[in-house]
Amino acid sequence: MTLLQAERGRRDLAEPERATVLWPRSDTPRRELSSRTISAITILAALLAWTLVTRLGLVAPLFLPPPQDVLAKFWTVASQGFIDATLAQHLLASLGRVLAALVAATLVGIPIGLAIGASRVGRGIFDPVLEFLRPIPPLAYLPLIIIWFGIGESAKVLVIAIAMVAPIALSTASGVRNVQQDRLSAARSLGATRRQVIRFVVLPSALPSILTGLRIALGAGWTTLVAAELVAATRGLGFMIQSAAQFLVTDVVVMGILVIAAVAFVLELGLRFVERRLVPWAGRD
């Protein structure tokens, strides 16, 4: 198999349903499974494997509890709670932190991105700062944040927000840089001021890119959540998982992981919906 063929096979697996057909297949028109169906089968297979290994006693419940235990735990925690808070309270605490961080990171990240994309000076100032912050894992700067800001709620939000600023700023900058030259020329030749050009041409142009940045940032935010809730939290999904791990309550750990995944997925869908409403023209123009 040549490299190209291998690449092709890999791409076919990864391709979403409505993807551009880069290599149309000339095969006979035999009925093919859509990638969505294949995804559903994959998930079912994973669930089945999970059920089997636990049922057959191949893995002790301490390491991997059976799915029905996790589900049962979900209901218990949802109704009675775990460590002084119900699942909804844990969830709301985490969601509140992630969303507060998103708002803060957006308010900071978009102007920074605008400065990087639109001005030489802005790029000179902020590029090294972002490049410095971006690769640092949240757990590494967490201690410093605690020393500086203590263990309150704002420190937790700050840890998450720091992880979110770079993706938002960089996506904004790339959106700003990719504004069609003709559109800028058109606005300028109509006599628009610099301010008007930025507000009515540059920002709307960059909006699809900014929204992509928000999506990436939300992902980064959830990733950072557990680290942020390491410190002096009394509520939150990350806190719940860690406490459960300390008492070896593995079913709560697994349940917590699944809940985080589900919430992140719902938020992703929500942002995609916002994208369709806000920038229906993206990709069609």
Partner 1 sequence: MSTLTLSNIAVRYSGQPRPAVEGASLSVGQGEFVVLTGRSGCGKSTLLNAAAGLVVPEHGEVSVDGRPIEGPGADRAVVFQSDALFPWFSARDNVAFALRVRGIGERQRHALANELLRRVRLDGLGDKPVWEMSGGMRQRVGLARALAAEPDFLLMDEPLGALDALTRERMQTLLLDIWAPGNLGVLMVTHGIEEALLLGTRVVVMAPDPGRIALSFEAGFSRRYAAGEPVRSIKADPAFTTARAELADAIFEGEPA
CB closer to partner 1, 27 vs 182: 182
Q: Using the rule CB under 8 A, is 198 a contact of partner 1?
A: no
Choices 144-152, 162-170, 212-220, 273-281; region in contact with partner 1 by CB under 8 A: 273-281
Measured from the CB atom, is 119 or 180 closer to partner 1? Answer: 180
By CB under 8 A, name the one of 76, 174, 196, 242 that touches partner 1. 196
Is 207 a residue that touches partner 1 (CB under 8 A)?
Answer: yes
Closest approach, Cβ 189 to partner 1, in A, equals 4
As given in the structure block, the two tokens for residue 10 are 């890999």
**Cβ closest to partner 1, residue 31 vs residue 284:** 284
In the complex, the smallest distance separating the C-beta of residue 176 from partner 1, rounded to whole angstroms, is: 15
Min dist. Cβ of residue 198 to partner 1 (A): 13
Binding mask 171-190 for partner 1 (x = CB under 8 A): ---------x-xx-xxxxxx
Tell me which of 16, 191, 246, 277 binds partner 1, using CB under 8 A.
Answer: 191
| Residue placing its CB nearer to partner 1 in the complex, 201 or 253 | 201
Say whether residue 275 binds partner 1 (CB under 8 A).
no
Residues at the interface with partner 1 (CB under 8 A): 180, 182-183, 185-193, 196, 200-201, 204-205, 207, 279-281, 284-285
